[in-house]
Structure 1
């Protein structure tokens, strides 16, 4: 596949239960915490570099927040065949690390210690794997929700990756930084805005803005997957004939997003656009059989999308 033309998306207009699946899929073992959870996946070669996925823990989200427009009967019909809880989702948080040449790049940074008690594990996992935050050269954000951004600061509210260059969508930065965003945000999400703005202020001198189609780093292309947030980006990592797409939250659940991508998600700021982005993206991913890494897919979140009748299914790497 070539660059830039891979996704012509129309602009219309968050489990620990996954441990066994992940271990079987990728031969995990480098980081097993108390014998119950993989902390990171083994590196995967990608041309002249490699990618590795680290766990930041998991979230706990009520189903009526995820699917506010669906009836209990609709939710049960979708989730029960997979033996999944119909009341609460506990999505994994998967942070991707790219090693190539003299670059050590993180895609998102987890939630830190101030969002949910089950998350914020990234720093410990990186250190246990021998990754020094001081060696990270680039931090590339998909978007500015707490579970992707808030881990950028240490316990003293200083940038954790002190020497890194930070990259973020120009539209994403503009939205969260705008003077009227806080006032326009529902009460239950105002902390998202306050948290984003404080972290933006802390890294402002180290940030570079990204536009869709831009090559952020050599072989790392920014793809417009807005809808979940106004400036949400996914990133296609190219290396020769090999590619992998770091999805962020453009596709966020291994059942809901694949089997009912048309359903509106309560996590999307623009629900209609989020659904249209999801459907267009899945169609192209299934057609091209592009490898993906999903931030909230079952850890480590690596696999492919396949067409399944009129819907899709997530096939984890084996």
Structure 2
């Protein structure tokens, strides 16, 4: 099992293979077959068409799992409504809910087909669970996937390992999960200490973890889990959340849910996110990530940023902005 350090690299240092950065209940509100952002859909799938990116001689494909619908009082439970409106209204965004896309990253390298997270599957929200259709549109058989790398174990990232019949969707994949994340969701005390609204998350995570247990490799933040793929500690959203730095070409950071909204997370990273397990640590992690990504000009792909979620972080006055490049 892979191990490593989780120390935050000093500002000005380049990303290296050993340099790393230190929910409320989700209500399913069906929106029919259209994507939450209204973008063009792949024919008859309910998901956006695959987006491709070259990293040197390696190809990355971003796949859509559809999107989520989250009431604002769950997403920003501690923020007064006037402050939310003042931030979002100038961007033409609704102030009563957020509709984040769900973007999964697929890496082809040699004989490896690496998928980062597994999507929501069929049992979470009606607007999500589109990954199988997106894989088909990209010409990828789920049986081809050799490695599944999990940023964390929330439903929209883990539950897609099983289909409607509790059969494995990726039967040949070795599954990589951070040791702290695995231990948290499996710990006996978690079910009794987590909020009642999230107890279903624990039950669902344990069910999926049991299904993949014989194929799991645990690692510590800082480990190079696969050649050129480094786990970056980014705790707060969950106790063991990690990003993944892909050291190919100019590099790409798969940020998972450490940065979750293209406006709120960038312009108000200090705001407490209701989906964060530890709201203070989650905010601190966002600030550190945004600062490093700006300084190092590292490209990112965000799981919940507007599809396909590829872009750069830039300074915008005292805050930051997401500059989409994909």
Normalised TM-score (structure 1): 0.91
Answer yes or no: is the 8 Å Cα contact 1:16–1:37 preserved in 2.
no
Q: In the TM superposition, what is the alpha-carbon distance from 1:4 to its structure 2 partner?
A: 4.4
Aligned to 1:233, which of 242, 254, 279?
Answer: 242
Q: How does 1:1-318 map to 2 (within 5 A)?
A: 1-4=14-17, 6-9=19-22, 16-17=36-37, 19=39, 32-33=42-43, 38-41=48-51, 43-240=52-249, 242-317=250-325
Q: 1:308 to 1:18 in 2, by over 3 A?
A: farther
Answer yes or no: is the 8 Å Cα contact 2:36–2:68 preserved in 1.
no
Q: 1:36 to 1:161 in 2, by over 3 A?
A: closer
**C-alpha distance after superposition, 1:230-264 (max 9, x if no partner):** 00000000025x20000000000000000000111
Q: Which secondary structure does the structure 2 equivalent of 1:39 belong to? A: coil
Q: In the TM superposition, what is the alpha-carbon distance from 1:3 to its structure 2 partner?
A: 1.2
Separation of aligned partners in 2, 1:183 and 1:69: 24
Separation of aligned partners in 1, 2:19 and 2:317: 23
Answer yes or no: is the 8 Å Cα contact 1:235–1:245 preserved in 2.
yes
CA RMSD, Structure 1 to Structure 2 (Å):
1.7
Separation of aligned partners in 2, 1:304 and 1:164: 30
Q: Quick one: higher RCO (CA 8 Å, sep 6+), 1 or 2? A: 2
Q: 1:35 to 1:173 in 2, by over 3 A?
A: closer
Unpaired runs of 5+ in structure 1? 21-30
Answer yes or no: is the 8 Å Cα contact 1:224–1:234 preserved in 2.
yes
Looking at secondary structure, tell me which structure has more strand per residue.
1
- Equivalent in the alignment of 1:28: none
Separation of aligned partners in 1, 2:46 and 2:201: 31
Q: In the TM superposition, what is the alpha-carbon distance from 1:307 to its structure 2 partner?
A: 0.7
Answer yes or no: is the 8 Å Cα contact 2:49–2:137 preserved in 1.
no
Separation of aligned partners in 1, 2:102 and 2:43: 16
- Equivalent in the alignment of 1:27: none
Separation of aligned partners in 2, 1:156 and 1:32: 25
Answer yes or no: is the 8 Å Cα contact 1:153–1:159 preserved in 2.
yes
Normalised TM-score (structure 2): 0.89
Answer yes or no: is the 8 Å Cα contact 1:140–1:166 preserved in 2.
yes
Answer yes or no: is the 8 Å Cα contact 1:19–1:37 preserved in 2.
no
Separation of aligned partners in 1, 2:38 and 2:19: 30
Answer yes or no: is the 8 Å Cα contact 1:289–1:305 preserved in 2.
yes
Separation of aligned partners in 2, 1:81 and 1:93: 24
**C-alpha distance after superposition, 1:120-174 (max 9, x if no partner):** 0001110232100111000000000000000001222122110110000000000
Unpaired runs of 5+ in structure 2? 1-13, 27-34
How many residues matched?
302
User: Which stretches of structure 1, 4 residues or more, deviate above 6 A after TM superposition?
Assistant: none
